[in-house]
Amino acid sequence: MVERILIFVAGLLAAAIVGVALFWQPEMPERPLPKAVIAAGGDFTLQSASGPVALQNYRGKLVLVYFGYTFCPDICPTSLAATAEGLKQLTPEELARVAMIFVSVDPKRDTPARLAEYVDFFHPAIVGVTGTPENIAEIAKRYGVFYAEQKVETAGGGYVVDHSADTFIVAPDGQLVGKMAHATPPDQVVVAIRKYLNQP
Amino acid sequence: MKQLSLLAASLMFSAGVLAGAADNVSVQDPYVRLAPPNAPATGAFMVIKNNGDKDVKVVKADNPVSKVTELHTHINDGGVMKMRPVPSIDIKAKGEAVLKPGSLHVMMIDIKTPMKEGDVVPITLSFDDGSTKQVDAKVVRPMAAPMPAAMEHKH
Ligand SMILES: [Cu+2]
């Protein structure tokens, strides 16, 4: 009988440990991608106002990648303002090792020139890029980014683009290592950047 | 004399129209977010407080700076932010509606002339009973502010 109770207690403890292991989520500024559904990410080359931008040319730098569009009335400015504020909190030495790429999910309307002016408003370290719709769709898929044009019933006409609002973190070795949720506050952006910047 | 009484009557009438939802509503911290260059739209944000005993609805907003003004919200669908128009912003008796980035907002679409930081945009809110309230919203640069989505990690 005692033995049974002991086995029962041991079972409970084991269940508790497994439960904690499964559901314990320490407060992290970014959501690390679970290995099973990890988006592959990977290199890409797109067009900026000052020529082609290739992710592979950023090796040695931590690269933040955000997918958005200049007609975006609220989500992109909110995310970009928070991230830019985080970039401003880095030391000049740190900032020199960080880059940010804003990939347009609205290639029909976003030209490289338009993107350049737009991203510069937030931070000079951000480069705005676009490409062919097929090219962008392929990259978005690799990064697990969803976007879709929506004909929203607005008297303003035009369309809005629903899109994933995460900021991806590409480590200096080119690996996609994590992402930050929409509007992650600046101090948490700094924590996330430093975490991957200082990894060997 | 007849004209005078007509005037008095119309004054009373307009006072009657003005009284209502708008009288019980106060607005705090209104601001318009400065649109980045080339962005044809931006949002206005504020906290609308209903000090009355009856629920009120904001059914319309207007402003002279953009061609179109709409009431919008955002739906966070698994990390995908979807902006959608809403027919009204409802404010419960003694309650408040918080208009903020990533959530409810007054959408200003097709900005006629670019705004500058510090400009003041008069925004007129119309309520379901026909009363209206003007709010002077200052134009500010986008700032990092806590959003609902960013708080999903708090337990
Ligand atoms: Cu909107």
pLDDT mean across residues, chain A: 84
Question: How many CB atoms within 10 Å of residue B140?
Answer: 14
Higher pLDDT, A39 or A21: A39
pLDDT digit string, tens, across residues B17-29: 445 889 999 999 9
Task: Look up residue A190 and give its two tokens.
Answer: 């700094």
Residue B72 near residue B41, CB atoms below 8 Å: no
DSSP B63: -
Question: Quick check: B113 pLDDT over 60?
Answer: yes
Question: In this complex, do A155 and B70 lie within 8 Å of one another by their Cβ atoms?
Answer: yes
**A116 Rama sector, left if φ>0, alpha if ψ -120 to 50, beta otherwise:** alpha
Average pLDDT over residues A112-132: 96
| Mutation for testing the B interface, residue in A69, A78, A147 having most B CBs under 10 Å | A78
Partners of residue A118 in chain B, C-beta under 8 Å:
36-39
Q: How far is CA A183 from the centre of its chain?
A: 11
The two tokens of residue A160 are 């809005």
Contact of B69 with A73, CB cutoff 8 Å: no
Pairing assessment for the beta strands B41-50 and A167-170 based on DSSP bridges: unpaired
Residue of B143, B121, B146 lying closest to B134 (CA atoms): B121
Q: Cα torsion for A111, B106, B148, A190, to the nearest 10°?
A: 40
Which residues in chain B have Cβ-Cβ distances shorter than 8 Å to A77?
Answer: 33, 35-36, 39, 42, 101, 142
Query: How does pLDDT run across A28-82, given as a tens digit for each residue?
Result: 455 555 444 557 899 999 999 999 999 999 999 999 999 999 988 889 999 999 9
Average pLDDT over residues A148-177: 83
| Predicted pLDDT at A184 | 92
Q: Which residues of A touch B109 (CB under 8 A)?
A: 73, 154-156
pLDDT tens digits, B119-134: 999 999 999 999 999 9
Distance in Å from the first CA to the final CA of chain A = 54
Q: What is the DSSP letter of A32?
A: P
Please give the distance, rounded to the nearest whole angstrom, from the Cα atom of residue A52 to the centre of ligand 1: 32
Query: With b meaning 16 or more CB within 10 Å and e meaning fewer, what string describes A26-37?
Result: eeebbbebeeee
Query: What residues pack around ion ligand 1 (CB closer than 5 A)?
Result: A 73; B 72, 83, 107
Cα–Cα distance, B38 to B28 (Å, whole number)? 29
Contact B150 A146 (CB under 8 A): no
pLDDT in tens, B77-92: 888 888 889 999 999 9
Residue A120 pLDDT > 60: yes
> Which pLDDT score, from 0 to 100, does residue A22 have?
47
CA-nearest residue to A186 within chain B is B144
Q: Environment class of residue A101 by beta-carbon count within 10 Å: exposed (0-12), middle (13-18) or buried (19+)? A: buried
Per-residue pLDDT at A181 exceeds 70: yes
Cβ neighbours around A133 below 10 Å, total: 12
**Whole-number Å distance between alpha carbons of B82 and B73:** 8
All residues of chain A having their beta carbon less than 8 Å from the beta carbon of residue B80 are 146-147, 162-165
User: Is B87's Cβ below 8 Å from some Cβ in A?
Assistant: no
Q: Do A73 and B80 touch (CB under 8 A)?
A: no
CA distance B61 to chain A (A): 13
Contact call for residues B92 and B23 (beta carbons, < 8 A): no
Q: Cβ contact (<8 Å) for A73 and B109?
A: yes
Task: Please tell me the predicted confidence (pLDDT) of residue A40.
Answer: 86
User: Is A77 within 8 Å of B33 when comparing Cβ atoms?
Assistant: yes
Cβ proximity of A170 and A42 under 8 Å: no
Of residues A24 and A140, more confidence is placed in: A140
Q: How confident is the model at residue B147 (pLDDT cuts 50, 70, 90)?
A: very low
Rounded mean pLDDT of chain B?
A: 84
Give the rounded percent of residues in chain A with a pLDDT score beyond 90. Answer: 66
Find all residues with CB under 8 Å of A167, minimum gap 6, and list them. A64, A65, A66, A79, A83, A179, A180, A184, A189
Rounded to an integer, the average pLDDT of A18-24 is 48
Judge whether B82 is closer than 8 Å to chain A, CB to CB.
yes
- pLDDT band with cut points at 50, 70 and 90 for residue B12: very low
Is the pLDDT confidence value at A146 over 70? yes
Q: Tell me, in angstroms, the distance from the centre of ligand 1 to residue A149's CA.
A: 15
- Å from CA of B35 to ligand 1 middle: 13
Note the pLDDT tens digit of each residue in B29-61.
999 999 988 888 999 999 999 999 999 999 999
pLDDT number for residue A1:
52
Amino acid A5: pLDDT: 56
Compute the average pLDDT of residues A118-140: 96
- Do β-strands A51-54 and A147-150 pair in parallel, antiparallel, or remain unpaired? unpaired
- Give the pLDDT mean for A146-152: 84
What does the alpha-carbon distance between residue A133 and residue A70 come to, in Å, rounded to a whole number? 16
| Whether the Cβ atoms of residue A59 and residue A43 lie closer than 8 Å to each other | no
Residue A96 three-state SS = coil
Position B17 scores a pLDDT of 47
- What per-residue confidence (pLDDT) applies to A159? 82
Q: Which of A70, A81, A184 minimises the CB distance to B142?
A: A81
- What pLDDT does residue A10 have? 58
Ranges A17-31, A161-175, B72-86: which has the least confidence: A17-31
- Residue B150 phi/psi, 5° resolution? -75, -10
Could A78 and B79 be called an inter-chain contact, meaning their C-beta atoms sit closer than 8 Å? no
pLDDT band at A9 (very low <50, low <70, confident <90, very high): low
Give the pLDDT score at B11.
47
